[in-house]
Amino acid sequence: MIRPHAEAVVDLDAVANNVTRLTRVAAGAALMVVVKADGYGHGMVPIARAARAAGASWLGVALLDEALALRASGDTGRLLCWLAVPGVDFGAVIAADVDVAASSTAQLDEIAAGAGRVQRRARVHLKVDTGLSRNGCSSQLWPQLVESAATWQRNGRVEVVGVWSHLACADEPDHPANAAQERVLDESLDVARAAGVTPQLVHLANSPATLTRPSSHRDLVRVGLATYGLSPAPDVGSAGDFGLRPAMALRARLAAVRRVPAGAGVSYGHTHVTTQPTTLGLVPIGYAEGIAVSASNNAQVAVRGRRCPQVGRVCMDQFVVDLGAGGADDAGAGDEVVVFGPGDDGEPTAQDWAAASGTIAYEVVTRLGGRLFRTHTGAGR
């Protein structure tokens, strides 16, 4: 087989390690691994299987189609999907035994109608907006939603299994919004119980809250980024500090190597000009694969175990690295470039690329795609 020009290699043993770690951190709560957006770019189905095998009792996705794709892959465990637009066919996911979320009475009515069509009872998680102002039912409309849920429940069309919300500032553990959101959640629960809605599962915590805020764990935690071994709160701790292992390594092979004199302008716009004679290496991935243009002239890669700066503007299919500045100027075309990895051998991490491009590690891994190959290693493969 021809070795790929570039590949994202996902270590499923690392995922299993992270699931085990998170299970311990949130002992007492059930663990939902969030596998939306193609498993944050790591491959939804292999991640789902590895997570289940490592003990995740729940999986979570945003879209109904993602839930159906998981079911089509053979997944049969508890699964929640939480983002839908008016008019979607809830019947299909309800028939597939998927839990659904309702943020409004209109949405709950659509869920109940879908349940009616497929002659099933929908398992519903009522979502309350406790301060994110993104999705979820406002506190003003919440009494109406729980009344409506109680009615549908009496009719046998829905079963309210969960009440839940999502945090805005969990990556800043001292932010007052965290405690405020917990308070609003508790008040909302009182309102729900008074209306006769008594959910088995209350859930709020994402990865940063799971790792830093035990009071948010409640009955179930929904962990995404931490499962993939990246720190969801880099200002608080690194992945290693949290006992997590990055699952993805992004590797490529040098397409070409060239000697250039001092004063050579590199890539579009000549945003980098060499200051001395050096060796440039060409890495055959670019923004079409999800490498951020905003990382231009800020990021590093590892070649032959040495860190080399990325120089000049990142292009659609390729970017340039200065092998001379990294002391790897004896590298040749075809040699491996580690764009990022777990950091074990001093290579940059996805978090380093996030910092270099002014974004978050979530975006670095999730946006990878295009013509990249992706392979999975480890026991869960």
127 is catalytic: no
Question: Which is closer to ligand PLP, CB of 26 or CB of 264?
Answer: 26
DSSP run (H or E) holding 65: helix 64-72
Question: Which is closer to ligand PLP, CB of 33 or CB of 302?
Answer: 33
Question: How big is the site for ligand PLP, counted in residues (CB under 6 A)?
Answer: 12
Among 114, 199, 229, 232, binds ligand PLP (CB under 6 A): 232
DSSP run (H or E) holding 373: strand 373-377
Q: Is 125 in the site for ligand PLP (CB under 6 A)?
A: no
Question: Which is closer to ligand PLP, CB of 235 or CB of 345?
Answer: 235
Sorted by sequence, the CB contacts under 8 Å of residue 231 that are 6+ apart come out as 225, 237, 238, 239, 241, 242, 244, 351, 361
Contact 42, 10 (CB under 8 A): yes
Q: Is 162 in the site for ligand PLP (CB under 6 A)?
A: no
Question: Which is closer to ligand PLP, CB of 233 or CB of 315?
Answer: 233
268 is catalytic: yes
- In the complex, least distance from residue 283 CB atom to ligand PLP, rounded to whole angstroms: 28
Match 């659609």 to its residue by tokens: 316
Contact 331, 304 (CB under 8 A): yes
Contact 351, 358 (CB under 8 A): no
The residue sitting closest to ligand PLP, measured at its beta carbon, is 224
Name the DSSP letter for residue 335: -
- In the complex, least distance from residue 61 CB atom to ligand PLP, rounded to whole angstroms: 10
Among 98, 220, 223, 239, binds ligand PLP (CB under 6 A): 223
Contact pattern for ligand PLP over residues 18 through 37, marking x by CB under 6 A: ----------------x---
Match 């008016």 to its residue by tokens: 86
Q: Is 82 in the site for ligand PLP (CB under 6 A)?
A: yes
- In the complex, least distance from residue 259 CB atom to ligand PLP, rounded to whole angstroms: 44
DSSP run (H or E) holding 36: helix 36-40
What does the radius of gyration of the chain's CA atoms come to, in whole angstroms? 23
Match 């690392």 to its residue by tokens: 14
Within 159-298, where are the H helices?
176-194, 207-212
Among 23, 148, 153, 207, binds ligand PLP (CB under 6 A): 207
Tell me which residues are annotated as active site.
36, 268
For ligand PLP, the binding residues (CB under 6 A) are 34, 82, 166, 206-208, 222-226, 232
